[in-house]
Amino acid sequence: MEEKIEHPWEYTQIVQFATPKKKIDYGTKEGQQNLSRACGQIFNKLPQIIDKLPVGNGWQINSHSILMVEGSIVVSILLQRYKKEQN
């Protein structure tokens, strides 16, 4: 007989992005500073963004990734929380 194991976590994902007004060469020191600044602005806003999620509260950041798409910075954040008990 196989025992069913319940996974204790549930997950959701949010995506944020920043698009510079002018094209930036991220291979230069100045470009890297702009990238760091833009990512910092996104990460600084995360607590407020997470608090406003329509799927409730109690979320923790599990992981993130930063991707460049045609000059835009795309930050994908995986969130997790313990599953709420269902009656």
What is the total count of domains within the chain? 1
Given a cut of 70, the residues of the chain with pLDDT beneath it are 1, 85-87
Does any domain span residue 3?
A: no
pLDDT of residue 64: 94
Task: Name the residue among 29, 28, 39 with its Cα closest to residue 68.
Answer: 39
Does any domain span residue 53?
A: yes
Give residue 47's identity as a one-letter amino acid code.
Answer: P
Does any domain span residue 77?
A: yes
Does any domain span residue 35?
A: yes
pLDDT of residue 85: 65
Task: Name the residue among 7, 2, 1 with its Cα closest to residue 82.
Answer: 7
Query: Contact, 23 vs 71, CB < 8 A?
Result: yes
pLDDT of residue 4: 76
User: Domain range for residue 45?
Assistant: 9-82
pLDDT of residue 7: 82
